[in-house]
């Protein structure tokens, strides 16, 4: 039985439940976490939430930097590929003596929460980013009230909203991602993508296909999506194919893609063609042999 099947069939009803809140840290540990005491009613609500999600998520898709899932699927990849999540799990799995129960200030500033479901020697971790109302700057602008017996009354601002779903899960050595954006912003470091792009823009073979790489660098900038795309470009390394610019020029001219080239046959990037150039480097500009229509696709899987 796969980890995906075991995750869905996990005995959540009889599991013990622990809630943790966490913050990011600039230290080598990367995260700080605090245990939050909960009553049985809250724990049952968490059990209900994960049972609902494991019932809803019936399919899995291989995770990649550009892959996307739908409302009934998740993205699956190996825990060993996520240094950020490994760091978070190490903190919440540290001996209890090394952790302290959360105080109000830790809850207010938490960037996310993690729920551990334990059954025997098996554990499922479920993680969710906190709502904006958990941030002190937002909470100070809110008036919390409750409607009871036909009357609206103020309640203390020490209230916290938990969603009835999670962004991603971990079981055994496998991660199941329901919300890719939340997962990557929580446990991925954008600096990793930036370093990858910086390395790419000094790669002699990459530089050799362009007349000037600066317009491409300006277009990508600090944009997380574009940085992920450039990471995929680096991994696929199509630009290393012999005579790559010449092949691109031939196809561009035949298909009227409008890519420009200098007198030496190198690709000239401008604001009008940079998106097309990136699609070509990703190999995401594809031709349907049935309709003779060219499509830009978000991801591509070889058949």
Q: Which candidate, 3, 9, 165, 1, places its Cα nearest to that of 78?
A: 3
pLDDT on residue 177: 95
Calculate mean pLDDT across residues 67-83. 89
Q: What is the pLDDT of residue 186?
A: 86
Is the pLDDT assigned to residue 222 strictly greater than 90?
no
Between CA 140 and CA 127 the distance in angstroms is 26
Higher-scoring residue by pLDDT: 67, 176: 176
CB contact set of 101 (below 8 Å; sequence gap of 6+) = 34, 35, 36, 37
Bridge partners (DSSP) listed for residue 116: 18, 125
pLDDT digits (tens, 9 = 90+) for 84-130: 899 999 989 876 545 567 677 777 778 899 999 999 999 999 999 98
pLDDT at 80: 87
pLDDT in tens, 24-74: 887 777 898 999 888 899 999 999 999 999 999 999 999 877 788 999 999
Count of other CB atoms within 10 angstroms of residue 32: 16
In the prediction, which pLDDT does 104 show? 74
* Residue 162, both tokens: 């938990």
> Which SS3 state, helix, strand or coil, does residue 115 take?
strand
Do strands 151-154 and 145-148 pair parallel, antiparallel, or not at all (unpaired)? Answer: antiparallel
Of 164-168, 221-225, 254-258, where does mean pLDDT reach its minimum?
221-225
Q: How many residues does the chain have?
A: 303
The per-residue pLDDT for 303 is 53
CA 81 → CA 44, 130, 175, 276, distances in Å? 32, 24, 10, 30
Beta strands in 178-293 (DSSP E): 260-261, 267-268, 285-287
Q: Across residues 261-265, what is the average pLDDT?
A: 93
């Amino acid at each position: 039985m796969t980890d995906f099947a075991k995750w869905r069939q996990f005995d959540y009803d009889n599991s013990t439940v622990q809630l943790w809140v966490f913050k990011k840290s600039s230290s080598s540990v990367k995260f700080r976490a605090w245990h939050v005491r909960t009553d049985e009613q809250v724990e049952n609500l968490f059990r209900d939430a994960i049972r609902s999600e494991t019932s809803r998520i019936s399919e899995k898709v291989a995770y990649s930097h550009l892959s996307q899932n739908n409302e009934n699927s998740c993205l699956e990849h190996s825990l060993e590929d996520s240094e950020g999540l490994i760091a978070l799990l190490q903190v919440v799995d540290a001996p209890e003596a090394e952790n302290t129960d959360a105080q109000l200030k830790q809850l207010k500033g938490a960037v996310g929460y993690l729920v551990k479901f334990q059954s025997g020697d098996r554990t499922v971790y479920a993680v969710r980013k906190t709502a904006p109302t958990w941030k002190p700057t937002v909470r100070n602008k809110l008036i919390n009230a409750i409607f009871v017996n036909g009357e609206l009354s103020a309640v203390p601002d020490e209230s916290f909203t938990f969603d009835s779903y999670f962004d991603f899960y971990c079981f055994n050595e496998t991660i199941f991602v329901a919300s890719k954006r939340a997962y990557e912003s929580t446990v991925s470091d954008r600096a990793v993508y930036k370093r990858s792009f910086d390395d790419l823009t000094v790669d002699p073979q990459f530089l050799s296909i362009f007349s000037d790489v600066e317009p491409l660098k300006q277009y990508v900038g600090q944009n997380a999506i574009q940085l992920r795309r450039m990471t995929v470009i680096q991994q696929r390394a199509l630009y290393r194919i012999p005579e790559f610019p010449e092949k691109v020029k031939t196809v561009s001219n035949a298909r009227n893609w409008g890519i420009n080239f200098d007198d030496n046959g190198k690709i000239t990037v401008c604001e009008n063609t940079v998106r097309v150039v990136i699609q070509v480097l990703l190999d995401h500009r594809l031709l349907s042999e049935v309709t003779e229509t060219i499509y830009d696709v978000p991801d591509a899987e070889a058949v």
